[in-house]
A and B are shown apart, each in its own frame.
Chain A
Amino acid sequence: MKTQRFLVKSCLALLVSGAVFVSAHTFAQGPTKANTLSIGGPFEFTSQEPSQQGYLFTRMQVAETLVDVAPDGRLLPGLAESWDVDTSGLIWQFKVRDGVVFHDGQSLDASAVLNSIEQALKKHGPLSQVPIASLSALSDQTLQITLEQPYNLLPAVLAHYSTMIISPKAYNSEGHVDQLLATGPYQIDTVQPPHKVVVKRFDGYWGQVASIEYAEYLTGHRGESRSLQARSGQADITLTLDPASMNSLNRERHLTLHSDLIPRSILIKLNSGHPFLDHIDARQALSLALDRTGIANAILRVPGSEANQLVPSSLAAWHRQDLPPAARDLQRAKALLTELGWQAGADGVLVREGERFSLKLITYADRPELTTVATAIQAQLAELGVEVKVEVTNSSAIPSGHQDGSLEMALIARNYGFIADPLGVMIADFGQLGGGDWGAMNWQNPEVVELITSLKVEQDTDAYLQKSQRVAEVLAQELPLIPVTFYTQQTAVNTRVKHFRFDPFERNYYVNEMELSK
């Protein structure tokens, strides 16, 4: 009996000491549930450097760019009220918005903009592709950019996160950003890489001052974890939801689900110089063997997301409305390969001149659905007699494999809205013979290269559309990359959040437009 009493006392002592430890553990006191919008997403961040994870800070509305982008892709005035280009297409003038202050209280002027652009030029980003001859601040409100040759993409590049405008005080002596001081409706409260950013309303904002006092971004690595955050009510907005969890989330009365088409596509990048893939018919056969409807319905759970071309319909200039849906036709696919001399081997795998039709398909786990889609493709191509070995690796293996020529096939998720004008990605992917790191590989089509090069300086809207449509047509015919599906962003929004809207270009969460119901 006494022993039991002693045990009870011991347990109580342990419980008390544990409780004291936990409560005494010094945790930072953060904003409260009532005044904070909580956003859950999959992406980690390591620094406040604009060229690295700058997208997180434009999305959280800490920083802004000279040019903004409407959800339909139109370029809008941002920190630049307006811009002009002379008739030669070489001299661009940007009128810097008046009455804007940085989070450190300093006023925005052309010299501060100049400083940010000069810093961005020293780092990795699309600005380094712009043929800039000189930069100058003509007055307090006018920035002039002189180009070596015309480049229509300049305003779109100035909408990219890496060109965000930051206070000169934000840079340290080595030009790195230690504390992001920008102009957005929210300012940094706490940054705890790689998981959490808390931002606080900036009352001195030049535009619509936010109603919600705090916003928090929390990285949830696992899709299940993010879904559970949405279900429990911990996260108000949960992004990049796992397709498998959509049914259970649909049953939650406190959640509204949003499916938005974004300008990103799942594609198979092919080495068109590979002896098995150098003929259009071989690439056509692989494309015809894909059951895109099965992938869209069973894996991605977004019926209708099957892709018949590279660029989705939201980027109208680069999307052909007249192309038929990509239907599976295994018989025709087999016939095409037979014409190329492939015959079924003893184990069902096609053989030609003693070589098995066996290829390595690499993909990466940054986007979890890619690995599942890769194995589905493996099974579908096996029915054609093509052996596919799937290797899940780091995303850097794709540009690396492209450069050293070792890549055979890769399953990728290409973002055609990475620069607000898809021409930027098209230049990188198809703008030179042989292709680009994330585009065509060893594919030679001088017509496409010429068209894309001419689009950099094309001023006439109709001619631009004609040329971009022709590029889309050639890409769909010759298949240097095989389209699989278009991307749909699945978002769960708590019903306490009012006025939610989604930016297909993923540049902005529009938190300053939202309200939290009591």
Chain B
Amino acid sequence: MKSILLNRLIQAVMVAWGVGTLTFIFMRTLPGDMAYRIAAGRYGQDNVTAEAAELVRQELNLESSPWLAYVNWLWDLVQLNLGTSLISGAPVIHEVQHQLGHSLGLAFVAILVSAMIALPLGILSGMRVGGLFDRCLLILSAVLRAQPVFVIGLLLILLFAVNWRIFPVAGFGTPAHIVLPALALALVLASVSSRVIRDSTHRVIHSSFYTFARVKGLSASQTFTRHGLRNLSVPVVAFMGIQLVGLIEGIVMVESLFSWPGIGHGLAHAIFSRDVPMIQGTALMMGLIFVCLNTVIDIACYQLDPRGRLQ
């Protein structure tokens, strides 16, 4: 356990340095004048001019050496200071907290809903592999997985917001606002995770230790709860962890469609407007969250699977 935590801590430090350095290099090597990009982000399309760009250039000292800017950023990082946004002037940490909070909230609810859908369907399907239910679920999963998430989002909006008017189309601020974006993401996630659960269930209930448990006299439910659930959950937990990581970085379309103020959308806009401290801060926080999530998954698997402890 200690070695897992120590390894992850070293990883976190390396990720913080590596992600920040790479984003700094990438942003500096992109074509286009940075001062103009920042001016467009600050003042809008109607008001971006050479004068505005010059003002930005002087204010941010953009003509100074990139090395100096890099060293300043590194020194700020050591002091746990992510700097201020070049566009809004607000501390990066405040903006990241606001955006990341919304993304994590959405990702967590989406994972929860996907688990609520995928677990029962996957287990039922895995218990009778090749049956009608299993085949129907396979088709449904394939259809859902083949759709871009915004198409599913639009369909949900048309059904639940426009036709039945149960949930709002977009926005945030009330529990009702999270339902449709979370469901759109959950359906895509469940289409894959239900297959993983199905395979895992099939493997476990056809294993020798499972058969032995039944033979020694345990009932079906006792066998499933004592020997089935725990064994099938190891790959499922690992897979859902990976899905959560992918979710946080890949929900830009859903955030954009549902006007959800998340990190993916924020990062995309920061890149368009060359808000380097914001990009570095966001990428760094996302990197650290990935390390944390991987650590949590490792610990969960470590606790679930005694074989890992022996290693």
Binding site for B on A (CB under 8 A): 1-3, 5-7, 10-11, 14-15, 17-18, 21-23, 25, 27-30, 43-44, 46-47, 49, 51-53, 55, 124-125, 128, 176, 192-196, 218-222, 224-225, 228-229, 231-234, 364, 366-367, 393-397, 399-400, 402-403, 413, 415, 418, 428, 436-438
Contacts and interface: CB of A to CB of B under 8 A. Distances in A.
A218 B32 CA distance: 31
A400 B56 CA distance: 14
With most chain A CB atoms within 10 A of its CB, the pick from B40, B46, B154, B261 is B46
A228 B158 contact: yes
A5 B221 contact: yes
With most chain A CB atoms within 10 A of its CB, the pick from B98, B168, B169, B273 is B169
Nearest to A190: B173
A402 B98 CA distance: 37
Contacts of A366: 45
A113 B198 CA distance: 70
Nearest to A364: B45
Given A6-B221, A225-B258, A47 B90 contact: yes
B120 to A, nearest CB: 5
Given A10-B119, A22-B109, A231-B162, A196 B36 contact: no
A30 B221 contact: no
Nearest to B42: A52
7 contacts: A52-B44, A128-B51, A225-B170, A228-B154, A232-B169, A400-B33, A400-B53
B269 A196 contact: no
Given A11-B116, A14-B115, A428-B49, A234 B171 contact: yes
Interface of B: 32-33, 36-37, 39-53, 55, 85, 87-90, 98, 105, 108-109, 112-113, 115-116, 119-120, 123-124, 127, 154, 157-158, 161-162, 165, 168-175, 177-179, 219-221, 224-225, 256-259, 261, 266, 269, 272-273
Contacts of B87: 46-47
B171 A124 contact: no
Contacts of B109: 18, 21-22, 25
Contacts of A128: 51
B185 to A, nearest CB: 14
B39 A27 contact: no
B45 to A, nearest CB: 4
Contact of B162 (A21, A47, A232, A400): A232
A292 to B, nearest CB: 23
A221 B120 contact: no
A413 B43 CA distance: 16
A395 B220 contact: no
Interface of B is mostly: helix
A344 B236 CA distance: 65
A394 B49 contact: no
B165 to A, nearest CB: 6
A399 B224 contact: no
A232 B157 CA distance: 9
B161 A219 contact: no
Interface of A is mostly: mixed
B53 A18 contact: no
Contacts, number: 181
B27 to A, nearest CB: 14
A400 B178 contact: no
Contacts of B170: 218, 220, 225, 228-229, 234
A11 B157 contact: no
A500 B74 CA distance: 53
B168 A234 contact: yes
A23 B44 CA distance: 38
A124 B55 contact: yes
A91 B130 CA distance: 89
Contacts of A232: 157, 161-162, 165, 168-169
Given A176-B89, A397-B32, A221 B259 contact: yes
A49 B259 contact: no
B171 A218 contact: yes
Given A18-B112, A23-B175, A437 B90 contact: no
B33 to A, nearest CB: 5
A439 to B, nearest CB: 11
A126 B120 CA distance: 63
B196 to A, nearest CB: 17
With most chain B CB atoms within 10 A of its CB, the pick from A18, A23, A29, A396 is A396
B162 A437 contact: no
B124 A7 contact: yes
B174 to A, nearest CB: 5
Nearest to B161: A232
A415 B115 CA distance: 50
Contact of A195 (B88, B124, B162, B261): B261
A413 B45 CA distance: 9
A21 B106 CA distance: 12
Given A6-B224, A25-B178, A28-B173, 20 more contacts: A11-B116, A17-B112, A47-B87, A47-B88, A47-B89, A52-B44, A53-B44, A124-B52, A176-B89, A193-B88, A219-B259, A228-B154, A228-B161, A229-B170, A232-B168, A366-B45, A394-B273, A396-B36, A399-B53, A402-B50
A396 B37 contact: yes
A195 B259 contact: yes
A223 to B, nearest CB: 11
